[in-house]
Amino acid sequence: MKYCSHCSGKVVKAIPDGDDRYRFVCVECKKIHYQNPLIIVGTIPTFDHRILLCKRAISPRLGFWTLPAGFMENGESTRDGAVRECYEECLAKLEDVKLFAIFDIPRINQVYLFYRAQLINPSYSTTAESSEVNLFDEHSIPWEELAFPVMTITLRRFLSDRRARNFTVHQDTIS
């Protein structure tokens, strides 16, 4: 960051009074520009024991498979954001949406929240964000073609919980 979005003054990195870390601070109006982690919300949509995955039509990781997920928007709950992302990425409608996992990834300043959900019906489609969309049973998941490590971790925990017939809310830090 070079310039203040409030007054267009020059911005420098400094530790503001009463703080304990460097922040971007405007030398003109003294506004502190906080940078906070990004929240990514997503779902594990299922239908008849199969999981809906999307092949990314956008960067990063273009052409790799992922669970429907994306950045939370202002003014929405994490649950509503996850449902919205599923619809935006594959035009799928969900029901029985329940929190499944929270993953902190401090290295890249992100927090992921995943919800398990049921597809209302097996209706889904490609969109500008997904070049392919398909339901996969446990044995046909393209493990080597998953876009991000958090997707692999989420799917493995989901499948383990499903086999045990005991879903819990997972919380972990991924380094």
Residues with Cβ within 8 Å of residue 59, at least 6 apart in sequence:
none
pLDDT tens digits, residue range 23-52? 999 999 999 999 999 999 999 999 999 999
CATH number of 1-35: 2.20.70.10
**CA–CA separation, 122 and 140 (whole Å):** 18
**CA–CA separation, 163 and 160 (whole Å):** 5
Q: Do domains 1-35 and 38-173 have the same CATH topology?
A: no
pLDDT of residue 134: 98
pLDDT tens digits, residue range 125-172? 999 999 999 999 999 999 999 999 999 999 999 999 999 999 999 999
pTM: 0.90
Question: What token pair was written down for 9?
Answer: 């003054």
Q: Please, what CATH class does the domain formed by 38-173 belong to?
A: alpha beta
The full set of domain ranges for the chain reads 1-35, 38-173
First to last CA, the chain: 26
Of the pLDDT bands very low, low, confident and very high (cuts 50, 70, 90), residue 3 is very high
